[in-house]
Structure 1
Amino acid sequence: MTAELVRGQNHPLPHTRLEIRVSAGHPVVAAATLGDDRGRVPGAEAVVHPGAATLPGIEVPRQAAPRHRLAVDLEAIRDTVHRVSVLLALPAGGDGPVRFGAAAAPVVTVTAPDGTGVADYTITGLDRESAVVALELYRRQGAWKVRAVGQGYEGGLAALLADQGLTHPAELAGTILEAVAQGLARSVAAPPPRVPDADRARQPAPAAGGGPVDYTHPSRRPAAPRTPTPAPQDPAPATAPAPVAGDASGWSMDERLYNQVWGMFEDLARATAAYRSACQFAESRLDQEIDRVLSDPRSRIGGAGDAARAAAKARHDELTARAQEALDRDLAQLTAESEVVEPALPAAYARWDSPVWQGYRVPMEAPMAVRLGDLHLPERTGLRIPFLARLPLTRGLWVDSGRGHSEAAALLDEAELRRLALETAVAHAVRLLAVHPVDRFRVQVIDAAGAGAAAFAPLVEAGVLQAPPAAGAAGVSAVLNALTERVDLLQMALRGGASDDLPPGLDTAEQLLIVHDFPHGFDDRAVTQLRYLADEGPSVGTHLLMVADRADAAAYGPVLDPLWRSLTRLTPVPDDHLADPWVGHAWTYEPPVFPAGSGVLRQVLAQVADARGQWGHDRL
């Protein structure tokens, strides 16, 4: 049965040879881009369009038409390609519509070579857009899937290509539309069913005006006819492949695991979006059908009205049940993958209760990223996705000690919430210390009122701080002056290419400044310096970790708004304030927590302190 997709929904592809059929009701241009594992398209050479209609594994039509057939052979696509985006655009000029909203919604169908339907998608919700990413075929854990995208662009084909990361998108869009205007060549015809190679050799060659596409990859064609043997058929739909940790592209295991975690994050976001969209569609259609029943006086009485309402409710229940079935399938696959990936994560990506910390040693190189907590959605709260931030940090961190709008925070008194916020900040600081080489990362603390002495005690006792926590207005000023001067010097050296001219003894290791109880102890000059460090510090390895309640600094008014916006807000209790970049779900953030009664905090700090002592001894 053909799967009917809604925006964001994915579906496994049981065949490697496919046909993508487009029905628009008005002429459209069809094209495709070939992206890497992060969706980036390297250049115009990775775009299949009417002016350059073939690339290994894919062929598109050379003209605008209301109906198209695109031929795809996933086995012939280069190994570096992980995402094939199918694009539709309205041709320039002519008598056709200038926007998709002025005509019937396009329908895109993925079929097997014999025409058997795999999935179809009606691209609804378009209005002023004149170009759209219809769907994408993407590689995941060694298997291919199709995802309904439906992302439209009012700026047309040029805006779409720019969003794909291509340089000179307007020029490429012009080339594509000009090729269409000149009426180049032919459309792709339906591929023939698979037959033995000898029988294929006896088939007539395609005529110049059209005909079947030869799907045989050039590097796989035999030099001479072989003994006729049946060609292998496409495999029947099977269960999802067993998940494997590190089953993503990358130069190292860290990079592969990082990419795999982000792939899980994206899959969960889109699967949930598809489920919610399907449920909303079912509710909307039920309301419309019942309204039609009620608007007809003849159906308001007797059994006809009851039967119509019952039929509408049955259709609604069937749609929601199918959506739930698809979501359950995706969640089961992601849960299985999470159960394999989580135990394989290195210390930088692992939870504090992971066994990896029992054998922890200070690394020689910094990792790609660091774990800042977990993320989950209400559809499956038990499925936690690691929240990874790339290193070096490009934004500072802000652990919000205020109540905000969190239900969990509302249940705690103010003192308990502030205590949890400070403990969360210490957990982040210890993690950052633990994942960096001992000579490449320093931590300083501003605790103007001394209110965080208990939480900072493990750091002080282990001797891993660059100096004792700064207290009072004088301590705040001294630390901020030194760091501001350091950022100035490093920026001047960076811009002038004069790193060798830096003052002797200037420590070029990355710096993390923990600021507790802001704005206590800060005057106007100190606030200005703090904003400067937040804006300019990350580019030269100086980072902020704020522990603050925004309401405490309300007296500064909008002056501090840029400061808060420049920091990544984290919370000491679960809170749904983070959104993904694909569909904008509100994800619940879970902060990192040391296991109750565990000695992992002091164990890790002891390792860092020992490594630092050995490093200092070796320098003498």
Structure 2
Amino acid sequence: MTAELVRGQNHALPQTRLEIRVTAGSPVVAGATLADEGGTVHGAEWVAHPGAPRLPGLEVPRQAAAGHRLAVDLGALPEAVHRVTVLLALPTGPGRPVRFGAVAAPFVAVTGLDGTEIATFTLTGLDSESAVTALELYRRQGAWKVRAVGQGYAAGLAEMLADQGLTEAAELAASIQEAVASGLARSVAPPPPRTPDGERARRPAPPAAPPSGPAATTPPAVTSPAMTPPAMTPPAVTPAPGPSGDAGGGVPYAGAPGGPSAGPISYAHPRRQTSAPPPPPSTAPPAAPGQPARPVAGDATGWSMDERLYNQIWGMFEDLARAVAAYRSAVDFAESRMDQELERTLSDPRSRIGGTGDLARAAARAKCEELTARAREALDRDLAQLAAESGVVEPALPAPYAGWDNPVWHGYRVPMEIPMALRLGDLHLPERADLRIPLLVRLPLERGIWIDSGRTAFEAAAAAGGGRLRALAMETAVALAARLLAAYPAGEFSVHVIDPAGSAAGPLAPLTASGVLSSPPATGPAGVSAVLAHLTRRVDLVQMAVRAGAADSLPPDLDTGEQLLVVNDFPHGFDDRAVTQLRYLADEGPSAGVHLMMVADREDARAYGPLLDPLWRSLLRVTPVADDHLADPWVGHAWTYEPSRIPPGSRVLEQVLALVAAARRTGHR
């Protein structure tokens, strides 16, 4: 039976090989310290964290995420270690929560390698703390126990590490946050909040009994209001039972008894629906008995078909991440069990006589192969269902969500409204490389993009010449800029290009020839300075108007539409002032409608030292060729990203840009 612990309570551990699972409502950093009998951590080498995730008997995740698995082998710990303390901390950075009181309460579970829960603990009561000691595993009279701690620290990681006796706590805390920030720069943005109904609707699955215990609860995947889909944001009204049983506004509405005198008037309709509607009735024929239900495009909750497809894609993304995680965990368990059995066999002198040892080894390997085969069979079933779902979803996608090879682009028309999201490319895992999940980002962009033109870190780039790689990176930037232009109504999105040396004339030809650019690509130091000064002024004016509450006082010549700045071959042609302005646009631009797309090799930018590190971390890194550098927000798998390419010989990009340019000329004067 699972022990549901409260703060200060302990519980005996029946085994030494464990998993510690962490679930949080926002990305958190997970780590652990090793301490002696007196509870002292003797140095940085006694701390496992994202920058140094492995210690003897202990492994922690390499990045911040909303879900973690920590592996612990108490039997493999050094003899001097008597305590393992699990730490959680909020990553630092703009737009991220600064205290645990602003996010859902973290939940921690200690499990066996087979997933059986031993003890759980929900860290409630946190407020201003940004780091917390979740629980500790400690040795007492030769046996191991787990204790729920829940001790928070408002001053963060440094205070927590210092409290455990670490002399270099501040330096280590800074290095941990640096490693985390580097990992977050490579991570996929978290999905939107779940609907009030919880999981995405799956009509094929029969209704199940509600899960019990905190472990069964899936917290919201993100807490930032900016990530909430506009269509999913309910009216600002607190539901309360009305006289007839319907949900009415918690604030009295006009005409209600006591309304005018009881407080502010709410103009929300007392019976207006405030949760997303259920999916439409299925039109698919029923599945045969014992067979999985046939997938349906739009099989998720949402106010519109686009929103249902968007939520369905995120659901497929999460399903694939968790299915592969379960398979990998099962394989690890099977191999670990085989190693234990082989170790026991080799340690028994009787197994060295005759064929007893050979039989035991063969039996251990056969059991491992059987467990692995069963895990693969379960994974293959999940993959087949997801592949079938992808097969019906992909053709139904609207243009902003679709690949360039989707026929929907041939019927493209300039939209009247901004879509919910935009496709940046595809993601897949090695367990089934042909099962691609669209990588969708919300609009308007909340985070700039760094298209890496460097040759390090990925094999496909290392095989390409430097010039070819830079050209591919710029072609990727042009395709993404074209997607953004095509996603917005006429005149509501503008693109500026900085090409200091004029080296990108070829890849930029579709943009320049169609006339969709606000001005010709800027070249030379003077051109760079002029574009940056123009966009910096725009950000300044918008921010001042917003702070003063005087949006109608903006200059009449100011373009209030969204702006995208594409920078090629950075940092060539940039002086210190230009670099500072670029940093300013990356930090402050998105809130004022100015977005940044860098095409650069980070190695070339190292000459500026730490000045550009925040810029690198704040942008989402993508690559012009396939690379496994992106991570999901649930499990932290390394996903292979592939950009969305124009099919060879296709004129779809030119056709779409021509329609965008014509709409700009006729519909926005």
* Number of the residue aligned with 1:279: 331
Task: State which of 24, 28, 36 in structure 1 corresponds to 2:2.
Answer: 24
Q: C-alpha distance in 2, partners of 1:339/1:320? A: 28
Larger CA deviation: 503-512 vs 138-147: 138-147
C-alpha distance in structure 2 between counterparts of 1:462 and 1:384, whole Å: 31
Does 1:475 find its partner at 2:517?
no
Deviation at 1:146, TM superposition (A): 8.5
Q: Could you say if the C-alpha distance between residues 280 and 595 of structure 1 is closer, same or farther in structure 2, counting changes exceeding 3 Å? A: same
Query: What is the rounded CA distance, in whole Å, between the counterparts of 1:160 and 1:335 in structure 2?
Result: 25
Please give the secondary structure, in 1, of the residue aligned with 2:599: strand
In the TM superposition, 1:456-467 aligns within 5 A as: 456-467=508-519
> 2:507 aligns to what SS in structure 1?
helix
Secondary structure at the residue paired with 2:423? strand
How many residue pairs match? The answer is 442
SS of the counterpart of 1:376?
strand
1:298 corresponds to which of 338, 350, 355? 350
Instruction: Tell me which of 96, 102, 123 is aligned to 2:117.
Output: 123
Alignment of 1:350-369 (within 5 A): 350-369=402-421
User: 1:306 Cα shift?
Assistant: 2.2
Closer, same or farther: CA 160–271 of 1 in aligned 2, 3 Å: closer
8 Å contact kept, 1:372–1:388: yes
Could you list the per-position Cα deviations for residues 474-528 of structure 1 after superposition, in whole angstroms to 9, with x for gaps in the alignment?
Answer: 0100110110010011011112211011112211000001111111111100000
Aligned with 2:552 (options 480, 500, 504): 500
Find the aligned partners of 2:465 and 2:207 in 1 and give their Cα distance. Answer: 48
| Candidates 141, 144, 157, aligned match of 2:202 | 141
2:459 to 395, 407, 414: 407
Q: Where do residues 257-276 of structure 1 align in structure 2 (5 Å cutoff)?
A: 257-276=309-328
The 1:526–1:350 alpha-carbon spacing in structure 2 relative to 1, beyond 3 Å, is same
Match of 1:594 in 2: 646
| Superposition map of 1:2-17 within 5 A | none
Alignment of 1:352-501 (within 5 A): 352-501=404-553
- Indicate if the aligned counterparts of 1:442 and 1:466 stay in contact, CA closer than 8 A: yes
Q: Distance in 2 between matches of 1:373 and 1:546?
A: 17
User: Does the aligned pair in 1 maintain the 2:3–2:118 contact within 8 Å?
Assistant: no
SS of aligned partner of 2:506? helix
Give me the whole-angstrom Cα distance separating, in 1, the residues matched to 2:220 and 2:441: 26
> Using a 3 Å threshold, how does the CA distance of structure 1 residues 348 and 161 change in structure 2: closer, same or farther?
closer
**Equivalent AA in structure 2 for residue 268 of structure 1:** L
Partner of 2:261: none
Alpha-carbon spacing, 1:291–1:152, altered in 2? closer, same or farther (3 Å): farther
Q: Taking structure 1 as reference, are residues 146 and 378 closer, same or farther at Cα in structure 2, changes over 3 Å only? A: farther
In structure 1, runs of 5+ residues without a counterpart are 1-22, 30-38, 42-97, 109-119, 167-234
Deviation at 1:141, TM superposition (A): 2.1
Match of residue 306 from structure 2? 254
Q: CA deviation at 1:571?
A: 0.4
User: What residue identity is the alignment partner of 1:611?
Assistant: A
Residue matched to 1:509: 561
Separation in 1, partners of 2:461, 2:212 = 38
Q: Are the counterparts in 2 of residues 141 and 243 from structure 1 also a CA contact under 8 Å? A: no
Aligned residue runs from structure 1 range 468-617, under 5 A:
468-616=520-668
1:455 shift after superposition: 1.3
Given that 2:626 and 2:641 are in contact with CA atoms closer than 8 Å, whether structure 1 keeps it comes out as yes
Q: Whole-Å Cα distance in 1 between the matches of residues 219 and 425 of structure 2? A: 35
Corresponding residue for residue 364 of structure 2? 312
**In structure 1, what is the Cα distance between the partners aligned to 2:576 and 2:311?**
43
Q: CA offsets, 1:355-414, max 9 Å, x none? A: 001111110111000000000000000000000000010011111110121010011010
1:161 & 1:355 partners in 2: Cα distance?
Answer: 38
- Shift of residue 300, structure 1, vs aligned partner: 1.5
Whole-angstrom CA distance in 1 between matches of 2:206 and 2:85: 32
Give the conservation status (yes or no) of the 8 Å contact 1:400–1:572.
yes
Distance 1:141-1:288 versus aligned 2 partners, 3 A rule: same
Residue 480 of structure 1 contacts residue 529 of structure 1 at CA under 8 Å; is this kept in 2? yes
Q: Distance in 2 between matches of 1:515 and 1:423?
A: 13
Q: TM-score, normalised by structure 2?
A: 0.61
Shift of 1:309: 1.7
Following the alignment from structure 2 to structure 1, what is the Cα–Cα distance between the partners of residues 119 and 328?
Answer: 15
Larger radius of gyration: 1
Amino acid at match of 1:606: A
Partner of 1:20: none
Give CA-to-partner distance per residue, 1:62-114, whole Å, 9 cap, x none.
xxxxxxxxxxxxxxxxxxxxxxxxxxxxxxxxxxxx999xxx96799xxxxxx
* Equivalent position amino acid for 2:493 in 1: F
1:161 & 1:363 partners in 2: Cα distance?
A: 35
Does the C-alpha gap of structure 1 residues 370 and 25 become closer, same or farther in structure 2, counting only changes over 3 Å? closer
Q: Partner amino acid for 1:406? A: F
Cα 1:312–1:372 change in 2 (3 A) is: same
SS at match of 2:295: coil
| RMSD after superposition | 3.6
Q: What displacement does 1:315 show?
A: 1.4
On the 8 A contact 2:5/2:148 being kept in 1, the answer is no
* Residue 397 (structure 2) pairs with residue 336 (structure 1): no
- Tell me: CA distance 1:454–1:595, structure 2 relative to 1, closer, same or farther (3 Å): same
**For residues 461 and 396 of structure 1, what CA distance do their matches in structure 2 show?**
25
1:244 pairs with 2:296: yes
**Aligned counterparts of 2:4 and 2:658: Cα–Cα separation in 1:** 70
User: How has the CA–CA distance of structure 1 residues 105 and 354 changed in structure 2, closer, same or farther, with 3 Å as cutoff?
Assistant: closer
Structure 2: which amino acid aligns with 1:453? A
Q: TM-score, normalised by structure 1?
A: 0.66
Contact map agreement 2:25 2:220 (CA 8 A) in 1 = no
Q: Distance in 1 between matches of 2:326 and 2:619?
A: 31
Partners of 2:439 and 2:351 lie apart in 1 by 54
Q: From the superposition, tell whether residues 511 and 27 of structure 1 become closer, same or farther in structure 2 (CA, over 3 Å).
A: closer
In 2, Cα distance between equivalents of 1:606 and 1:447: 23
Q: What SS does the corresponding residue of 2:431 show, helix, strand or coil?
A: helix
CA offset at residue 313 of structure 1? 1.6
Q: CA deviation at 1:310?
A: 2.1
**Secondary structure of 1:491's aligned partner:** helix
Distance 1:469 1:336, change over 3 A: same
| Residues 372 and 161 of structure 1, relative CA distance in 2, 3 Å threshold | closer
CA distance in structure 2 between the partners assigned to 1:140 and 1:413 by the alignment: 47
Secondary structure of the structure 1 residue equivalent to 2:375: helix
The answer to whether the Cα contact below 8 Å between 1:131 and 1:160 also exists between their aligned partners in 2 is no
Deviations 1:203-250 (A, max 9, x none): xxxxxxxxxxxxxxxxxxxxxxxxxxxxxxxx9983221100011011
Give the direction of change, closer, same or farther, for the CA distance of 1:107–1:286 in structure 2 (3 Å limit).
closer
Measure the CA separation in 2 of the matches of 1:555 and 1:322: 52
Is the CA contact (8 Å cut-off) linking 2:200 and 2:311 kept in structure 1?
A: no
**In structure 1, C-alpha distance between the alignment counterparts of 2:220 and 2:409, rounded to whole Å:** 44
Q: Report the Cα distance in structure 1 between the residues aligned to 2:514 and 2:323, rounded to whole angstroms.
A: 45
